[in-house]
């Protein structure tokens, strides 16, 4: 991908984020069902083993869909995004919930940026997939590694180029000029990017296997079952999202 094209796709993404920040939660629930945030939250909590003493980095936090759920579980959560409008929505959410331990930082995560302290754990959910160009994606992953203490887990959750998209002929990259850019990750290119970013150990799993079934069929059961299914080896080929735990 040329730098010019990557710049244009990146500008479009930022414009969409800023203009839709106040509708983000509603749109997310409409596109992924109202249960899916809890499915992701349960899985992330387990994979990160969040503890009271943790300082957590939410890289590409958006309006704080997961930041606000994780904040009560840890000492501090540092929420980073480049969309000013998204951070404003999050600031309002923090105020409403009277949270004292969320630090907001505006930064482009593909560029070097500084935090006052190293974090003990990092999550980045549906963010790296929207960064156009492999070099920029790797720079963002490298930032995550450098900002996290040695051996602190970094969890990256992104759209999967698994069986569903492959069988329906979906392209791995959406390059529509006025659309939202995304790159769907397969296991191989995800690992390659993580190792190129300096991570030493990577394990992958899936999230959202039952999203194809529809959680509304058994809303008391399926959202609880889904994070458990992630333990089944090989499940990521059928999942909507691929999740990497990297150190
Ligand atoms: C799909 S939203 C995900 C938000 C949140 N993590 C969630 O799961 O609800 C993607 C977020 O990544 C942010 N983002 C994309 N590229 C970025 C970059 N280069 N630097 C900082 N934030 C970026 C966008 O502003 C947007 O808020």
Looking at ligand 1, which atom is closest to the CA of residue 21?
27
* Helix, strand or coil, per DSSP, at residue 1: coil
Q: Please tell me the distance from the alpha carbon of residue 5 to that of residue 53, in angstroms, as a whole number.
A: 42
pLDDT at 27: 96
pLDDT at 45: 96
pLDDT digits (tens, 9 = 90+) for 15-58: 999 999 999 999 999 999 999 999 999 999 999 999 999 999 99
pLDDT confidence tier of residue 81, bands split at 50, 70 and 90: very high
Count CB neighbours of 42 within 10 A.
Answer: 18
Pocket test for ligand 1, best of 62, 106, 174 (most atoms within 8 A of CB): 62
Is pLDDT of 177 > 80?
Answer: no
Q: Report the chain's mean pLDDT, rounded to a whole number.
A: 94
pLDDT digits (tens, 9 = 90+) for 201-228: 999 999 988 888 888 888 888 888 888 8
When pLDDT is averaged across residues 68-94 and rounded to a whole number, the result is: 98
CA of 42: how far to CAs of 1, 6, 28, 45, 84, in Å?
36, 34, 17, 5, 28
pLDDT digits (tens, 9 = 90+) for 231-245: 888 888 889 999 999
Is pLDDT of 129 > 80?
Answer: yes
Provide the b/e sequence for 7-27 (b: ≥16 CB within 10 Å): eebbebbbebbeebbeebbee
- The number of domains in the chain is 1
pLDDT at 229: 86
Element holding 110 (H helix, E strand) = none
Pocket test for ligand 1, best of 107, 127, 128, 147 (most atoms within 8 A of CB): 127
Distance 217 CA to ligand 1 centre (A): 30
When pLDDT is averaged across residues 118-123 and rounded to a whole number, the result is: 97
* Structural domain span for residue 241: 3-246
Q: Please tell me the distance from the alpha carbon of residue 239 to that of residue 235, in angstroms, as a whole number.
A: 7
Is pLDDT of 123 > 90?
Answer: yes
At 225, which CATH number?
3.40.50.150
pTM (2 d.p.): 0.96
Distance 81 CA to ligand 1 centre (A): 6
When pLDDT is averaged across residues 150-178 and rounded to a whole number, the result is: 91
């Amino acid at each position: 991908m040329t730098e010019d094209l990557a710049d244009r796709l990146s500008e479009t993404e930022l414009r969409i984020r800023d203009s839709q920040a106040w509708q983000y939660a509603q749109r997310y629930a409409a596109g992924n069902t109202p249960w899916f945030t809890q499915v992701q939250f349960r899985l992330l909590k387990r994979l990160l083993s969040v503890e009271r003493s943790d300082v957590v980095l939410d890289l590409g936090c958006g309006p704080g869909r997961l930041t606000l759920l994780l904040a009560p579980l840890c000492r501090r959560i540092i929420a980073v995004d480049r969309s000013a409008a998204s951070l404003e929505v999050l600031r309002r959410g923090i105020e409403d919930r009277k949270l004292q331990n969320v630090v907001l930082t505006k930064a482009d995560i593909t560029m070097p940026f500084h935090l006052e302290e190293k974090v003990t754990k990092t999550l980045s959910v549906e963010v790296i997939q929207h960064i156009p160009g492999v070099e920029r994606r790797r720079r963002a992953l490298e930032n995550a590694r450098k900002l996290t203490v040695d051996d602190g887990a970094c969890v990256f959750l992104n759209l999967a180029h698994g069986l569903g998209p492959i069988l329906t002929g979906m392209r791995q990259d959406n390059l529509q000029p006025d659309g939202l850019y995304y790159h769907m990750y397969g296991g191989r290119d995800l690992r390659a990017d993580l190792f190129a970013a300096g991570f030493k150990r990577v394990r992958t799993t899936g999230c959202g296997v039952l999203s194809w079934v529809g959680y509304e069929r058994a809303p008391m059961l399926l959202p609880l079952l889904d994070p458990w299914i992630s333990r089944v080896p090989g499940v990521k080929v059928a999942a909507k999202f691929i999740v990497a735990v990297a150190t």
